[in-house]
């Protein structure tokens, strides 16, 4: 059994970060935001947190599938996560979501900057 | 901050089991099965492992969203996971996938048998 | 080139109904409901319309993949669509969504009652 | 009832192109490719057609949700569709898939070049 390479470790960490961020965003939107109402269900914020949940899921799936386009998806995912973290900070009371988004953005930025090797 | 209830703990565990099973199935199909070929890419097995990955994702998403249909999705997910575990056992060499499917099936069976409370 | 069978025609129609219902539910939730607010973003309704969008997507994907579990997914999808149609009717102003859900429910009920043949 | 704008028409057309391409790619992979075997289930091609199905789904969902990141997703989707069309052409016998990918790539390129207006 061969040892996982540095790149494989980094990808597994990024998959975990994306999966966690997907979970926290979806759970926050469909529970905390819907219950709290007001700014939490304004279109701009709510669309962003749902978009973030979805792109994190897709980014994880591309990496799990060893897609040659994983690094592009990661770049995209990082951008959405950063915007979502800002929106959650601005409204407040969603610290878990901010943390998950920032961690995922960082991990995706690293993956996006890695040269793809099939 | 209130303590999570027994049901909330059980649901979080089921979300984790579904998410893990989704990851293992997709990763196994798109890496191990495609590389190994032969029985691993026969239509019946390959469709099953891909279906399993997808229903686990949907089951997790329903629970994350506190959907009133979560328990039905869990019942469905358990059935697909059990079939996928059997198919992986029969072909062999996919012990991680068998384990993830069996664990997810067990957790989903428990959730499915829980009465839904909004 | 062989002619599509009666079952293949029925499945293609069901895939279209699921795909259309997915689109209408997601578009209604993320545009009409978020803009209108009030009852449209109450947790019970909003979760239902989002669950409906997701199960329709999964049901379509199972059929597109010729999954042996397609008929179970269709049964599940029909149930969620019927609940979503009722919720949209009760709140009002979402006639397109009611129509798409009812049509999808009917098509899924038919597919669910068909014996699966690989 | 106001008339749909030029941009709304273009987006609806792009959603249809993405949804159609998603369906054709998934159906081709899970039926034609798995049945035919050989080059059709080689990792590079199979991962590409599955990635294409998934990014088309996500791109459609972003547009349906009026996500502010729709144009970026469209740019990404166009790139994957173009690669998938080439791979299908090279292997041969997947003309429907080539056509769907090329049409979706063209539509996504147009959307990607449109300035986003909330």
**Distances B113 to B110, C81, C83, D5, D112 between C-alpha atoms, Å:** 5, 22, 21, 50, 47
Q: C73-115, pLDDT tens digit by residue?
A: 999 999 999 999 999 999 999 999 999 999 999 999 999 998 5
What is residue C116's predicted lDDT score, i.e. its pLDDT? 52
Evaluate whether B105 touches B82 at the Cβ level (below 8 Å).
yes
What is residue D118's predicted lDDT score, i.e. its pLDDT? 40
List of chains touching A (3+ CB pairs within 8 A): B, C, D
What is residue B47's predicted lDDT score, i.e. its pLDDT? 98
Q: Is the pLDDT of residue C118 over 60?
A: no
Tell me the pLDDT band of C2, cut-offs 50, 70 and 90: low
| Cβ pair D83:A69 closer than 8 A | yes
D42 chain-B contacts, CB cut-off 8 A: 34
What is residue B1's predicted lDDT score, i.e. its pLDDT? 46
ipTM: 0.93
d(CA B73, CA B71): 5
DSSP string of A33-87, one letter each residue: IHHH-GGGGSHHHHHHHHHHHHHHHHHHHHHHTT-TTHHHHHHHHHHHHHHHHHH
Q: Is the pLDDT of residue D4 over 90?
A: no
Poorest-confidence range of B106-110, C1-5, D68-72, D100-104? C1-5
What is residue B2's predicted lDDT score, i.e. its pLDDT? 60
Q: Is the pLDDT of residue B111 over 90?
A: yes
Q: B4-56, pLDDT tens digit by residue?
A: 777 889 999 999 999 999 999 999 999 999 999 999 999 999 999 999 999 99
Q: Is the pLDDT of residue A115 over 70?
A: no
What is residue D117's predicted lDDT score, i.e. its pLDDT? 47
Tell me the pLDDT band of A117, cut-offs 50, 70 and 90: very low
From 3.90.1010.10, 2.40.320.10, 1.20.1270.360, 3.40.190.10, which CATH number describes the A6-113 domain?
1.20.1270.360
Q: Is the pLDDT of residue D69 over 70?
A: yes
Q: B55-99, pLDDT tens digit by residue?
A: 999 999 999 999 999 999 999 999 999 999 999 999 999 999 999
Cα distance from D5 to chain B (closest Cα, Å)? 34
Query: Inter-axis angle of helices D95-113 and D70-91, to 10 degrees?
Result: 160
What is residue D6's predicted lDDT score, i.e. its pLDDT? 78
What is residue B8's predicted lDDT score, i.e. its pLDDT? 86
Tell me the pLDDT band of D115, cut-offs 50, 70 and 90: low
Tell me the pLDDT band of D5, cut-offs 50, 70 and 90: confident
Tell me the pLDDT band of C1, cut-offs 50, 70 and 90: very low
- Mark out chain C residues that contact chain D at CB-CB < 8 A: 15, 19, 23, 26-27, 30-31, 57, 60-61, 64-66
What is residue A3's predicted lDDT score, i.e. its pLDDT? 67
Q: D7-61, pLDDT tens digit by residue?
A: 889 999 999 999 999 999 999 999 999 999 999 999 999 999 999 999 999 999 9
**Distances A75 to B79, C41, C107, D56, D85 between C-alpha atoms, Å:** 37, 32, 40, 17, 23
The DSSP code for A2 is: P
Tell me the pLDDT band of C7, cut-offs 50, 70 and 90: confident
DSSP string of B10-63, one letter each residue: HHHHHHHHHHHHHHHHHHIIIIIIHHH-GGGGSHHHHHHHHHHHHHHHHHHHHH
Q: C34-60, pLDDT tens digit by residue?
A: 999 999 999 999 999 999 999 999 999
Cα D40 versus chain centre, distance: 19
Mutate to test the interface with B, among A4, A65, A70, A118 (most CBs of B within 10 A): A65
pTM as predicted? 0.95
| Cβ pair B66:A26 closer than 8 A | no
| Cβ pair C23:D15 closer than 8 A | yes
Q: Is the pLDDT of residue D78 over 50?
A: yes
A47 chain-C contacts, CB cut-off 8 A: 30, 34
């Amino acid at each position: 059994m061969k040892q996982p390479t540095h790149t494989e470790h980094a990808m597994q960490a990024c998959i975990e970060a994306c999966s966690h961020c997907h979970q926290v965003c979806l759970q926050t939107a469909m529970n905390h935001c819907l219950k709290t109402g007001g700014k939490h269900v304004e279109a701009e914020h709510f669309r962003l947190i749902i978009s973030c949940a979805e792109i994190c899921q897709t980014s994880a799936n591309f990496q799990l599938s060893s897609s040659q386009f994983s690094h592009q998806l990661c770049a995209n995912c990082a951008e959405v996560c950063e915007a979502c973290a800002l929106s959650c900070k601005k409204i407040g009371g969603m610290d878990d979501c901010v943390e998950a988004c920032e961690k995922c953005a960082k991990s995706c930025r690293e993956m996006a900057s890695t040269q793809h090797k099939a």
